[in-house]
Structure 1
Amino acid sequence: MAESGREKACRIVISGYYGFRNSGDEAVLRSILLALQEQGEQLGVRFEPVVLSADPAWTAQMYGVEAVPRMHPQSLLRAIRSCDALISGGGSLLQDATGAKTIPYYTGVLKLAQWLRKPTFIYSQGVGPVNRRWMDPLIANVMKKSKYISVRDAESGKLLERMGVPASRIEVVPDPVMGLPLPADAAAHGAGAPARAADSAPVVGVSLRRWRSDGADLDRAADALAALAASRPVRLRFLPFHTPDDAEASQYVMERLKGRLGAGSAAELAQPGDDPQRMLLEVSRCDLLFGMRLHALIYAANQQVPMLGLSYDPKIDQFLARLGLTAIGTTEALKAEAFAAEAGRLLDGRDDWIKEHSGAIERLRQQSQQPAKQIAELLRQTILR
C-alpha cells in the first residue's frame, strides 16, 4: 500500500461477471466502486480498482478504472500479484446452474490471491444453487481463508454454514445495487414517475428473459400482459437488462401482443444503452415494474417503484421476501387474470405501496454500504499496523 499525503492508496482487484454488458452485473460493479470510494474517503483510504473483465477496454472506458482480461492467465496473475487485496463479488458467482465451470473459476481466482498472500473479501455474494456436491469444498476452503464474508440473503449464508463455514464469519447484507444512485443529470432527464394527466396511460416496465427452451414462460407472460393491456390503458415499456438476449425475448413477447392491446395501450422497447445508471433512470420513470431479472426488481425497490416478480430462481423469491412480497407467478405457472387484477391494484394504489414498503427499502439502502465500510476499515487497520 502506498501513502499519498494523509491518504493511503490501496490497489484492489475486483472479480465478478463484468464486461459482458449485463445491466444487473454492471450495476453491481458500479455500486461497489461508488461504495468503496465513499467509504474510503470517510476512512482515509484511496482505492485504486483493477477490474477483471471480459472486455477490459470497454470496462476501463465505462468506469474510469484499470481493467484486465479475466481469462488471460498472465494478466490475471500480474494483476493479483501487484495488488494489495482482492474482492470477489457481488452477484450470483458461486452457483452451478449456468454450468460446471463457474464455481471453479471464481474460487480459483480467490485461491490464487490467497496463495499470493493477498487478503480476500467476499462482497455480497449470492451463493447457490450448488447441485454438484464435489464443489462444496472449493467454496468452503476459500471462504474460510477470506478476511470478510458477506452474502446478499440468509439462504446463501445457510448454504455456506452447511458447507462448514462458521455462521459467526458470515454477514447478511443487501445486494450492492440497493445503494446505486441515479446518474448526476437525472433531474434533467425526468427521474421518477412523472405527474400525469388524468387520461395518460401509466408506464409498466417489463423485464423478461428466456428461461424455458420451449418459450412457454414467455407465452404466459404475453398472455398476462395482454390481459392487463385489455383491461385498462397502459404503456408497456420493455427493458432489456442483458443484450442482445433480453431484447430478443422482449421482441418475442411484443410479437405475441400484436392485436391484443386495448384502446389506449401500447408496447415499446427501451434502448437505455450499457450504463447501469441509465437503466436505473428508466426504471424510475415506471409506475409499475413486472420483472423476471433480479436486478430489475432491485432497481424498482431502489426507486420505490411497485413491482410484480416472476420467479425462475430462488434468488427472486429471496429478494421479494426481504420486502414482504411474494412472486406473482413462476416460469411454470402465471395466471393472466390474477396478474391483471394485481397489476391494476398496484397502479391504483402506488402511494399506499410506497408507504407500506419504504421503511424496508430504506433499511436495505443503508445496509448496502456495509461491505465497503468493513473492507475499508480492515484495510485501513492493515495500513496502520
Structure 2
Amino acid sequence: MKVGLFGLLGSGNMGNDGSLEVILAYLREHHPSAELSSLCSGADVVEARYGVPAEPLHWYYTRDRDPGPLARFGLKVFAKFRDSARVLRWVRRQDVVIVPGAGVLENTLPLRAWGFPLSLFLLSVFGRLTGTKVAFVNVGSNVINQRMMRFLIRWAAGLAHYRSFRDSLSRDSLATMGVDTSRDEVFPDLVFALPGPDVTVESGTVAVGLMDYHGSNDDRASADLIHKTYVEGMRRFVRWLVDGGHRVRLLIGDEVDEKIVREFMADMPETLVYEQIRTLGDVMAQIARAEVVVATRYHNVLCALKLGKPTVSVSYSAKNDRIMADMGIGEYTQDARTVDADRLIVQFTEVVAAADRIGLVLGENAGRKSAQLARQFEVLSAALGMPVETAKESTREVIS
C-alpha cells in the first residue's frame, strides 16, 4: 500500500515534525510493508532525518528568486500551476495520504490563502478525483474570517475521507465554518505519544520559550507594535528571573525564533543558556532539565505539560488556553499580544508555590491522554482500510 505524508514538514517547525514522528512510528509498527513518500515543504530534511523519500511542495522556494518585482510575480504565477500539477501527479500515485497533526486548518499566525491553504485544497480535490483517501489526523483549526482562506480550508477539510481533531475547539471551529463534523472524533494531541527524555533536573532552572511573534492574520496592521510589546515584556521577565538567581534556558519551537533568542543572548550573554534545538525531542530534553516552564509556542507549552512541569502559557492562540485548561491549570495563562511582565511574575510565583500539586495533576492527565491515543491509531487504520500487520499492542507502548 502506498501511503503519502503531506504538509509543512521538515521546514523548521518542531511541532509539525513531532506529529510526523508519531505517525511514522505508527505506520512502521503496524503497517511495515507500506511504501512511504512525502510531499512537503522541507523535502531534504524529511529524507535525511526520517528516511522517507520526499518531494518539495512549493517549487518557487527551491530556486534562486530574481529580486525584480515583475519577474518575481511571474515566477510565483508559474509556480502555482507547476505546484498544482505536481500535487496531482503525486496524489495519483498514493492509496492513502495522511496530513499528520499540527494546526493545518487554522490561521493563528500570518498566512496567505494562496500558499499552504491552496495546497491543502488541491490535495483534497485531487484525492476525490483520483480515489486516493485523504486523512487529516489529529489536526487543529480555528474560525477563519478571511473569505478566500475560509473557502479553501472549508473545502479542503470537507472533501477529506477522514478527519480527527486534537481538541473540541478545533472541531467546533470547523463546524462553525460549515463542515459537518458530527461524526468526527477528538483525540489528544499526537505529542502525548512521544517518549519523554531521561535527563536530570537542574535545580533552580527555568525554561523560557520565546517566539518571533507578530500577532495573527487579523493583526497585520499592528504587527510591529505587538512584536515590540511581546519582546519587551518577555525581556523584563527574563531579567527578573536572572536577578533572582534562576538559571534560564531559552527554548524555541520554530527555527525562525532563533532571531529573538540571539537578541536575548546578546543582551544577557553571561546569564542565559541556549543549546541548539532542531527537533521536538530537543525541546523536551531542554524542558526536562527545568523545574518550571514559561512559554509561548503551543508545542513548547504542550511538551511542558506532558512532562508534568509547572507551566505558564503566554498564549498566542485559544489552543494554548484550551490545553492549559484541559490539563487542569487554566488560570496560568495570559495574552502574548499584551504581555504584562508584572502579572507574569505573579503567575510564575504561584506555580512555583503549587509545584507539587500541579505536578500530580499534570502527570495524571498526561497519562490519560497517552492511553487515549492508542484508539486513534486503531480507528485510523480501519477508516483507511489498512489491516494491521503485526500482533495487536498499544501504539503508545511501541512509541515509548
What is the aligned length?
Answer: 350
The one-letter amino acid paired with 1:26 is: D
Once the two structures are TM-superposed, the CA of residue 192 in structure 1 deviates from its matched residue by 4.9
Q: Structure 2 residue aligned with 1:143, among 136, 157, 161?
A: 157
Once the two structures are TM-superposed, the CA of residue 223 in structure 1 deviates from its matched residue by 1.1
Query: In the alignment, what sits opposite 1:7?
Result: none
Q: Structure 1 residue aligned with 2:336, among 325, 331, 339?
A: 331
Once the two structures are TM-superposed, the CA of residue 178 in structure 1 deviates from its matched residue by 1.7
* Percent pairwise identity: 21
SS in 2 for 1:141: helix
Once the two structures are TM-superposed, the CA of residue 221 in structure 1 deviates from its matched residue by 0.9
TM-score w.r.t. length of structure 1:
0.82
In terms of fraction of residues, the more strand-rich structure is: 1
CA distance in 2, matches of 1:128, 1:275: 25
Whether the aligned pair in 2 keeps the contact of 1:227 and 1:337 (CA below 8 Å) is no
CA distance in 2, matches of 1:336, 1:57: 40
Whether the aligned pair in 2 keeps the contact of 1:143 and 1:165 (CA below 8 Å) is yes
> Residues 48-197 of structure 1: matches in 2 within 5 Å?
48-72=35-59, 73=83, 75-96=86-107, 97-101=110-114, 102-182=116-196, 186-187=197-198, 191-194=199-202, 196=203
Structure 2: stretches of 5+ with no match in the other structure:
60-82, 215-223, 390-400
Change (3 A) 1:69 1:370: farther
Whether the aligned pair in 2 keeps the contact of 1:178 and 1:301 (CA below 8 Å) is no
Structure 1: stretches of 5+ with no match in the other structure:
1-9, 197-201, 259-264
Whether the aligned pair in 2 keeps the contact of 1:21 and 1:242 (CA below 8 Å) is yes
Q: Does 1:308 align with 2:319?
A: no
Q: Structure 1 residue aligned with 2:231, among 215, 218, 221?
A: 218
Q: Does 1:366 align with 2:371?
A: yes
SS in 1 for 2:34: strand
CA distance in 2, matches of 1:336, 1:144: 42
Query: In the alignment, what sits opposite 2:3?
Result: 12
Q: CA RMSD in A?
A: 2.5
Once the two structures are TM-superposed, the CA of residue 148 in structure 1 deviates from its matched residue by 1.9
TM-score w.r.t. length of structure 2:
0.79
Write out per-residue CA displacement over residues 285-335 of structure 1, whole angstroms, 9 at most, x where no aligned residue: 121111110000111122112211001222222222211324532223333
SS in 2 for 1:12: strand
Change (3 A) 1:381 1:91: closer
Write out per-residue CA displacement over residues 105-143 of structure 1, whole angstroms, 9 at most, x where no aligned residue: 212112212211111111111112411234444334343
Write out per-residue CA displacement over residues 142-199 of structure 1, whole angstroms, 9 at most, x where no aligned residue: 43433321111212111222233333222112221121124xxx54xxx2525x4xxx
Q: Does 1:25 align with 2:25?
A: no
CA distance in 2, matches of 1:33, 1:373: 15
The one-letter amino acid paired with 1:133 is: R
Whether the aligned pair in 2 keeps the contact of 1:224 and 1:334 (CA below 8 Å) is no
Change (3 A) 1:314 1:354: same
Once the two structures are TM-superposed, the CA of residue 237 in structure 1 deviates from its matched residue by 0.6
